[in-house]
């Protein structure tokens, strides 16, 4: 059995086809740990994830970019965690690590109760089947020369082979996953991606992810390229999958409002230069942010004048983001309107705010009203 | 007030120009014949204002914006209508040569995703000199000086930026370089096509602040094309909503956002999740936006997705596309909807 698993892993690694890479039960069976997606075993947990990139090329050669500097988080089965931050803050790297497309330097990642750090990369791979990545761009995530039927058939065929299912199961399952994502199988199956709208394409991408029965979806800016009128439909779908299938969703975005829509009952993580600077229940952090970086991010959300009034304490960073800014004290000190000498020399650790679930990494946490609020009806 | 300024702008060079688009139809040649991407659009850009043009993919907003540059490319062509810009005349009738002078001259254009519109092989400074050469600028020192002024005004280290290649600049910096190129030859009409799409929230807020500042400082008439109502809400005084090649609603931004009248504008605004308040207030819009081939050729373009039509089934909605007409409340709002027109008639009938 171990040999069989190895050869399959080798083959899938060669084909580089992540969607079809699924030996989940086999692999974990050999480790002797349970993997059914219930209880805490289904949770995803990250502890102190660190990742650095060595820059290549002439100009930047040798310079190390610290993408993640020790990130902790936990998502329960069917839960939602949103990561918000500027471009370059490390949120995409985090999603890629979770989906197994990127390695990590140190720390621990626990998927379905199995700690992965100690496993050889080859043994990690089957566990990552449980986490599927939904890309930002549904236009390039689907092979334009293949019909939806053929796109869904490959991962399903492999799954059928592993689980000893018949061909009829493949057809039935393809229709089932399309139903789950709200598409009409009769209409969609024979069509090519270019014949579908952006929203429909993204649903096909999600359906493809569901073919391997994932425990979690990592949605990296999954709706930013979709038309506004169709966005909400895709967001609703992700919400439904959470409640009906118990799929957890890790939502990575710079659009705070969509993060709130997906995970109002979940956790919000604010990430800055590879470090979590504020974290808590989504509604708490949005209503009462205490870290100046979170406050800057939330202040930057456009105000719908006529419908909303801007927060009274809106603020902006004093400097643009620059990776060469000092790393001695608080990473945000160089851009923070309230930084003191202490902030520039001493590094604040993430700690709880007055015994609540709300965490922050700031020496001077202070509530400021930065988010726009609905105007009272006149 | 607008009418008064309009009358004087053609003579006074310093005042911002008015842009008046009338009955503009732009068609694309396809295997299925010529199909309109923009049909019979009327749009006014009052002098000195920022107008936000909002629409989804396939609404015709980018085609309309390109027509302001006289740059609708084959297989597209302007089939009918006029685009009048103070000081330039009707762009549709201008010669190729005068159009070329107007582009980047009187009319500045900031392209979507500035990283794709800058030349990766040349420094920003070199590209600036190219621009000057193509427009016959004699005084290069003055050109560089005004470029530096613009860049410094947008919070950039001007000398460094001019010496940089595009890959050495961040997304927000490239977008500001794009704005500099659009304005360095002293344009008075500024067209921005999705200026913040690839940017994160903080960079977006910075770019919007800069758009607002240069617009006011230089006395521009600005058209901002975007799919993001939030962006329009943040900077534009006026908003025009496009769907399926027609403008369905036009008015003051805050008014339209507070009380949208066209069913599409209403549905679009309701489909935006908010950062505060009741989450369940956000409602998805059923159906999908039409593409060039699927825009209804008869009747209202929005009919198939329209909640009002689904309920009331007005025969007029099937018969013809409603004209963009002022609503009865005297707010200056323009709406293209049969149901709104009928309500207006009933309301005025009752009061009379």
B202 → closest Cβ in A261, A300, A308: A300
Q: Sort strands A248-253 and A216-220 into parallel, antiparallel or unpaired.
A: parallel
Whether B118 and B166 have beta carbons less than 8 Å apart is answered as: yes
- Cβ A306–B257 below 8 Å, yes or no? yes
Q: What is the pLDDT of residue A24?
A: 36
Q: What is the pLDDT of residue A138?
A: 84
CA A238 to chain B, closest CA, distance in angstroms equals: 14
The segment(s) of chain A belonging to CATH 3.40.50.300 are 2-269
CA B52 to chain A, closest CA, distance in angstroms equals: 13
Q: What is the pLDDT of residue B352?
A: 52
Q: What is the pLDDT of residue A22?
A: 36
CA A287 to chain B, closest CA, distance in angstroms equals: 8
- Cβ A306–B282 below 8 Å, yes or no? no
What three-state secondary structure class fits B19?
Answer: strand
Q: Sort strands B189-193 and B19-30 into parallel, antiparallel or unpaired.
A: unpaired
- The dihedral of CA B89, B95, B98, B104: what is its sign? positive
If 0-12 CB within 10 Å is exposed, 13-18 middle and 19+ buried, where does residue A147 land?
Answer: middle
Place of tokens 């400082």: B217
B234 chain-A contacts, CB cut-off 8 A: 302-303, 305
For chain A, which ranges sit under pLDDT 50? Answer: 1-40, 378
- Cβ B233–A306 below 8 Å, yes or no? yes
pLDDT digits (tens, 9 = 90+) for B128-162: 999 999 998 999 999 999 999 999 988 889 999 99
Dihedral Cα B248, B251, B255, B257, nearest 10 deg: 40
A232 chain-B contacts, CB cut-off 8 A: 271, 273, 282-285
Q: What is the pLDDT of residue B294?
A: 84
Whether B244 and B290 have beta carbons less than 8 Å apart is answered as: yes
Query: Percent of chain B scored above 90 by pLDDT?
Result: 64
What ipTM goes with this model?
0.85
Count residue pairs from A and B with Cβ separation < 8 A.
138
Instruction: Provide the token pair at A32.
Output: 């002797």
Instruction: Provide the token pair at A258.
Output: 């969509």
Q: Looking at the predicted structure, is the pLDDT value of residue B4 above 60?
A: no
Whether B18 and B204 have beta carbons less than 8 Å apart is answered as: no
Backbone phi and psi for residue A17, each to the nearest 5 degrees, phi listed first: -100, 95
A93, β-bridge pairs: none
- Cβ B200–A86 below 8 Å, yes or no? yes
Q: Which CATH architecture has domain A2-269?
A: 3-Layer(aba) Sandwich (3.40)
pLDDT digits (tens, 9 = 90+) for B203-250: 899 989 999 999 999 999 999 999 999 999 999 999 999 999 999 999
- Cis preceding-peptide flag for A68 (omega within 30 of 0): no
Taking each continuous run of H as one helix and of E as one strand, the counts in chain B are 15, 12
CA-nearest of B233, B220, B223, B244 to B66 is B223
Whether B57 and B121 have beta carbons less than 8 Å apart is answered as: no
- Cβ B275–A296 below 8 Å, yes or no? no
Q: Looking at the predicted structure, is the pLDDT value of residue B123 above 60?
A: yes
CA A333 to chain B, closest CA, distance in angstroms equals: 17
A182 chain-B contacts, CB cut-off 8 A: none
CA B269 to chain A, closest CA, distance in angstroms equals: 9
- Cβ B277–A200 below 8 Å, yes or no? no
- Cβ B288–A230 below 8 Å, yes or no? yes
A216 vs B299: CA distance, rounded Å: 45
Instruction: Provide the token pair at A246.
Output: 């118990």
- The dihedral of CA A249, A140, A102, A25: what is its sign? positive
B210 vs B215: CA distance, rounded Å: 8
**Residue B313 neighbours by CB under 8 Å, 6+ apart:** none
B220 touches chain A (CB under 8 A): no
- Cβ A301–B275 below 8 Å, yes or no? yes
B170 touches chain A (CB under 8 A): yes
B99 vs B173: CA distance, rounded Å: 29
Average pLDDT, chain B: 89
Dmax (CA) for chain B in angstroms is 69
Return the number of other C-beta atoms located less than 10 Å from residue B55's C-beta: 27
A296 → closest Cβ in B202, B208, B284: B202
pLDDT digits (tens, 9 = 90+) for B29-80: 988 889 999 999 999 999 999 999 999 888 999 899 999 988 888 889 999 9
Q: What is the DSSP string of B264-300?
A: HHHHHHHTS--SSS-GGG--PPPS----TTTS-SSS-
Most A CBs within 10 Å, among B174, B175, B202, B248, to test the A interface: B202
**Residue A374 neighbours by CB under 8 Å, 6+ apart:** A307, A308, B274, B276, B277, B278
pLDDT digits (tens, 9 = 90+) for B256-281: 999 999 999 999 999 999 999 888 88
Most B CBs within 10 Å, among A255, A302, A371, to test the B interface: A302
CA-nearest of B109, B111, B55, B17 to B231 is B55
User: If you measure CA to CA, which chain A residue comes closest to B227?
Assistant: A228
């Amino acid at each position: 059995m171990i040999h069989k698993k190895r050869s399959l892993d080798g083959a899938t690694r060669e084909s580089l086809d992540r969607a079809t890479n699924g030996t989940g039960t086999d692999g974990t069976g050999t480790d002797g740990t349970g993997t059914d997606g219930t209880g805490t075993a289904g949770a995803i947990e990250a502890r102190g994830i660190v990742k650095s990139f060595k820059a290549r090329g002439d100009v930047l050669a040798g310079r190390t970019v610290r993408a993640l500097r020790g990130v902790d988080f936990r998502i329960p089965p069917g839960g939602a965690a949103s990561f918000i931050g500027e471009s370059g803050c490390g949120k995409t790297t985090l999603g890629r690590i979770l989906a197994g497309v990127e390695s990590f330097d140190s720390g621990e990642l626990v998927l379905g109760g199995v700690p992965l750090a100690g496993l050889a990369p080859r043994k990690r791979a089957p566990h990552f089947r449980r986490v599927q990545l939904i890309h930002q761009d549904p236009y390039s995530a689907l092979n334009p020369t293949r019909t939806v039927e053929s796109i869904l058939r490959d991962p399903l065929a492999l799954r059928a082979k592993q689980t000893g299912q018949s061909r009829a199961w493949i057809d039935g399952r393809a229709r089932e996953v399309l139903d789950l994502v709200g598409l009409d199988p009769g209409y969609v199956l024979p069509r090519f991606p270019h014949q579908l709208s952006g929203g429909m394409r993204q649903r096909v991408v999600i359906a493809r992810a569901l073919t391997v029965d994932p425990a979690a979806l990592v949605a990296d800016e999954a709706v930013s390229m979709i038309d506004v009128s169709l966005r909400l439909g895709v967001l609703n779908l992700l919400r439904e999958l959470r409640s009906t299938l118990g799929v957890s969703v890790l939502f990575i975005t710079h659009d705070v409002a969509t993060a709130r829509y997906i995970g109002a009952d979940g956790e919000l993580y604010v990430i800055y230069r590879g470090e979590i600077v504020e974290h808590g229940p989504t509604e708490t952090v949005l209503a009462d942010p205490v870290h100046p970086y979170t406050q800057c991010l939330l202040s930057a959300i456009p105000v719908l004048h006529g419908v909303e009034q801007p927060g009274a304490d809106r603020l902006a960073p004093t400097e643009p983001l620059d990776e060469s800014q000092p790393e001695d004290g608080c990473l945000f000190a160089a851009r923070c309107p309230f930084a003191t000498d202490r902030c520039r020399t001493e590094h604040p650790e993430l700690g709880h705010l007055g015994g609540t679930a709300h965490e922050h990494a700031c020496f001077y946490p202070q509530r400021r009203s930065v988010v726009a609020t609905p105007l009272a009806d006149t | 007030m607008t009418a008064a300024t309009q009358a004087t702008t053609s003579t006074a060079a310093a005042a911002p120009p008015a842009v008046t688009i009338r009955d503009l139809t732009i068609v694309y040649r396809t295997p299925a014949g010529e199909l309109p991407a923009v049909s019979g659009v009327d749009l006014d850009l009052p002098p000195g204002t920022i107008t936000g043009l909002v629409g989804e993919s396939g609404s015709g907003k980018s085609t309309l914006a390109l027509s302001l540059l006289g740059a609708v490319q084959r297989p597209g062509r302007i089939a009918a209508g006029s685009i009048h810009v103070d000081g330039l005349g009707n762009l549709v009738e201008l010669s190729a040569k005068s159009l070329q002078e107007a582009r980047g001259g009187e009319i500045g254009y900031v392209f979507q995703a500035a990283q794709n519109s800058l030349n990766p092989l040349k420094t920003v400074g070199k590209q600036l000199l190219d621009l000057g050469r193509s427009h016959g600028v004699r005084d290069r020192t003055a050109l560089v000086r005004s470029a530096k002024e613009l860049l410094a005004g947008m919070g950039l280290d001007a000398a460094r930026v001019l010496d940089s290649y595009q890959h050495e600049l961040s997304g927000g910096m490239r977008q500001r370089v794009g704005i500099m190129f659009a304005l360095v030859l002293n344009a008075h009409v500024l067209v921005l096509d999705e200026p913040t799409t690839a940017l994160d929230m903080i960079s977006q807020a910075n770019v919007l602040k800069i758009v607002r500042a240069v617009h006011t400082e230089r006395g521009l008439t600005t058209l901002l094309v975007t799919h993001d109502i939030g962006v329009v809400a943040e900077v534009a005084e006026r908003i025009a909503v496009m769907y399926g090649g027609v403008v369905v609603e036009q008015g003051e931004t805050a008014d339209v956002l507070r009380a949208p009248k066209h069913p599409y504008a209403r549905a679009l605004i309701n489909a935006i999740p908010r950062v505060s308040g009741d989450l369940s207030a956000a409602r998805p819009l059923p159906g999908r936006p039409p593409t060039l081939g699927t825009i209804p050729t008869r009747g209202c373009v929005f009919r198939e997705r329209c909640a009002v039509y689904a309920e009331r089934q007005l025969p007029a909605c099937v018969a013809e596309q409603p004209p963009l007409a002022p609503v009865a409340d005297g707010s200056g709002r323009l709406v293209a909807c049969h149901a709104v027109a009928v309500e207006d008639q009933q309301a005025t009938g009752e009061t009379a």
